[in-house]
Amino acid sequence: MEQLKGRDFLSMADFSRQEVLAVLARAQSYKAGETAPPMGGKTLGLLFRKASTRTRVSFTTAMYQLGGNVIDLDPNVTQVSRGEPIEDTARVLDRYVDVLAIRTFDHSELSTFADLCHIPIINALTDREHPCQALADLLTIQENFDTLQGLTLTYLGDGNNVAHSLLLACAIVGLHIRVASPKGFEPLPEIVNLAQKLAHHSQVTVTNDPRAAVENCHILYTDVWASMGQEQEQNQRMPIFAPYQLNQELLSLADPDRIVLHCLPAHRGEEITAEVLEGEHSRVWDQAENRLHAQKALLSCLL
């Protein structure tokens, strides 16, 4: 745990397998009721350029449960909205808060903060990755199967930030991962290559065939077809992504003990049917709750 103190968490690739497992173990302990060491006097800053429900509320609740404080640094009511350079903002916030969670579009903005700040910087979502979500996903899988070994996760849909973090997370901990996306919407090749290099007895597969991808898999995962900032593409993406809808037909091809995950928000009838989202195999609400426990563990480790 001492190795994690003061570290940044910009990507799943920032942590080793042992470090990821250590965070998950602490998250399990907190969820089971273990009392965390008090963080009195510590302050978490939230700098969010994108809308958020689960990330904002779970980080806020986690820090309060740790005994710390939270400041919502809404760009609309700070000098960020008036064009203050990121470099200046970073240098000042570094002297005010103890840890900073940033949710933004351009991943390079996160890197700028990390380069200039001495405090831990956490990726609360960028267009490139969503590693905090992946931590909660791993925690949910571990809860349901009591292991992260010998399992296959299939992700259906856009090769977006969630897919990128899942590729890296699964590779690191030893989960087999298959990503099924339409042609032209696959994950970034450099992320796929990195996942393959990091693979710990894991098979990393990217395909355009959704049926082959879900066959005998243990975890079925999907996300919206158009991420934040891509809403104008929603209508043109619908027919392209239709074969990748997580529905009862695809679900039936998976392992009998399969579970269904979705990072939310969900568009019922688009990337997932209401029947599957609300069905007996869904663990989506446990997954959402686990954002709190995973981020609470992450904060306590970094601080």
- Distances in Å between the alpha carbon of 249 and those of 218, 246, 252, 275? 15, 8, 5, 11
**Cα separation, 65 vs 292, whole angstroms:** 10
Annotated catalytic residue within 54, 98, 133, 164: 133
Q: Based on the residue annotation, tell me whether 291 is a catalytic residue of this protein.
A: yes
Annotated catalytic residue within 263, 283, 287, 293: 263
- Three-state DSSP class for residue 244: helix
| Residue with tokens 């593409």, as numbered in its chain | 233
Annotated catalytic residue within 117, 291, 293, 301: 291
36, burial (CB in 10 Å: exposed 0-12, middle 13-18, buried 19+): middle
Instruction: Identify each DSSP E strand in 42-83 by its residue range.
Output: 43-48, 69-72
Question: How far is Cα of residue 287 from the mean position of the Cα atoms in its chain?
Answer: 11
Q: Based on the residue annotation, tell me whether 17 is a catalytic residue of this protein.
A: no
Annotated catalytic residue within 130, 258, 262, 283: 130
Annotated catalytic residue within 54, 223, 293, 301: 223
Q: Based on the residue annotation, tell me whether 26 is a catalytic residue of this protein.
A: no
Q: Based on the residue annotation, tell me whether 8 is a catalytic residue of this protein.
A: no
Which strands make up the sheet holding 204-207, listed edge to edge? 204-207, 176-180, 152-156, 219-222, 259-262
Q: Based on the residue annotation, tell me whether 133 is a catalytic residue of this protein.
A: yes
Q: List the one residue out of 98, 139, 142 whose CA is nearest residue 122.
A: 98
Q: Based on the residue annotation, tell me whether 130 is a catalytic residue of this protein.
A: yes
Annotated catalytic residue within 54, 103, 128, 218: 103
Residues 155/221, Cβ–Cβ less than 8 Å: yes
**Cα separation, 224 vs 209, whole angstroms:** 18
- Residues with catalytic roles: 103, 130, 133, 223, 263, 291
